[in-house]
Amino acid sequence: MPADHGLAAVLCGIGTWLPPRVVTNDDLAQRLETTDEWIRTRTGIRERRVIDPGMSTSTLAVEAGARALKSSGSTDVDLVIVATTTPDHPCPSTAPEVAHRLGLTGVPAFDLNAVCAGFVYALASAAGHIAAGSATRVLVIGADTFTTVLNPEDRTTVAIFGDGAGAVVLRAGTADEPGALGPFDLGSDGSHSDLLIVPAGGSQQRGSGLPLDPADVHFQMDGQPVFRNAVTRMSESAGKVLQRAGWRIEDVDRFACHQANARILSAVARNLEVDEDRLVVNVDRVGNTVAASIPLVLADAAAAGDIVPGHRVLVTSFGAGLGWGSTVLIWPELELG
Ligand code: COA
């Protein structure tokens, strides 16, 4: 979706929300066979946030969405997209309820499931609506409570994932403005769909007629091939989007990669031959927050002054599916929500 076809989608608001409960590595080590040292050295993660009883994905999405609207200076939007893999219910989608609770009843609203690549897919979808003239201001929310699909006894996945939400507002503008998104690179490879999967709960398992295996209701991950694919796919996608944008690697001030594992980030930096100080990182504090990962790391970096207006930022993400996606923007002046 080249940014020079029709109107561009311009970032004009950003907001995030994390559930207050912090779970440290030492907390996990009290009930699982793991250590703070193992988790820190293998993943770079020190702590993550986990929802309390009574919260769900919509709780997080509404909080982040409200902050993004406030940051944009207006509650006027004509499309709401919620990127999530952990909707409040299998049916209906979560976005209409989120829109309603934000005072946006009547506005078109839909969920988008592309797992950890979901936020970049949602940005591309919003940009397409803006380019086509079917929307002029879009609220894009990435929200996941992935801890709700983990096996609480699985020390590997419990150590990696956390809950959270981040949101942006995109408005119609021109491709040469700061904040204009694009071009995009998106891709998928369903031949590896079994590497990261919740086997049960969908039509395949329900239609099988077979008794439910309780283990299949939980997320299952084959860590090492996922690690290799994450590094390769994000590196390749970053290269493609740079080529499409006409940017050189040295033009990029900050790389905002999906926050899954600090060692994955280091390997991507090595592949791209860039210094790690050009990466923005918050995986140590939030773990892998799935669709919330990209807006959370962008907002955290902006709040810390690590991303400043005028910075050329490359965003790249990867997740189950497999799916991946990248885009670029020049960071605009923003009120942080
Ligand atoms: N604490 C202690 N030991 C653990 C552990 C934990 N939290 N999790 C796994 N281990 C153990 C394994 O059981 C294994 O033990 P074994 O040798 O006795 O079988 C050992 O550590 C080594 O496991 P391995 O899988 O080789 O470790 P690794 O270095 O590949 O790290 C991951 C495991 C999961 C951290 C790593 O593969 C990874 O990050 N993969 C990508 C995951 C990801 O990003 N997913 C989301 C993509 S969007």
What's the CA-to-centroid distance between 299 and ligand 1, angstroms? 29
Q: Is residue 178 part of a domain?
A: no
Q: Is residue 3 part of a domain?
A: no
Q: Are residues 166 and 202 in the same domain?
A: no
Q: Are residues 194 and 274 in the same domain?
A: yes
Q: Are residues 192 and 298 in the same domain?
A: yes
Q: Are residues 146 and 265 in the same domain?
A: no
Mean pLDDT of 172-178: 96
Domain boundary among 142, 173, 204: 173
Q: Which residue has its alpha carbon closest to ligand 1 atom 11? A: 156
Domain boundary among 109, 143, 173: 173
**Where does the pLDDT of residue 5 fall: very low under 50, low under 70, confident under 90, or very high at 90 and above?**
low
pLDDT confidence of residue 306: 97
Residue 331 to residue 328: CA distance in whole angstroms:
9
Cβ neighbours around 258 below 10 Å, total = 30
Q: Are residues 194 and 324 in the same domain?
A: yes
Q: Is residue 1 part of a domain?
A: no
> What CATH number does residue 211 fall under?
3.40.47.10
- Structural domain total, the chain: 2
Q: Mind listing the pLDDT tens digit for each residue in 178-237?
A: 999 999 999 999 999 999 999 999 999 999 999 899 999 999 999 999 999 999 999 999
Q: Give the list of residues 6+ apart from residue 15 with CB closer than 8 angstroms, or none.
A: 64, 65, 66, 67, 68, 69, 70, 71, 166, 167, 168, 299, 336, 337
Residue 83 to residue 325: CA distance in whole angstroms:
14
Residue 179 to residue 311: CA distance in whole angstroms:
10
Domain that holds residue 247: 185-330
Q: Are residues 288 and 225 in the same domain?
A: yes
Residue 66 to residue 322: CA distance in whole angstroms:
31
224 lines ligand 1 (CB under 6 A): yes
What's the CA-to-centroid distance between 155 and ligand 1, angstroms? 9
Between the alpha carbon of residue 92 and those of residues 66, 78, 79, 98, 111, the distances in Å are 21, 20, 17, 12, 9
Q: Are residues 47 and 159 in the same domain?
A: yes
Residue 52 to residue 270: CA distance in whole angstroms:
38
Whether the CB-CB separation of 283 and 303 falls below 8 Å is answered with no
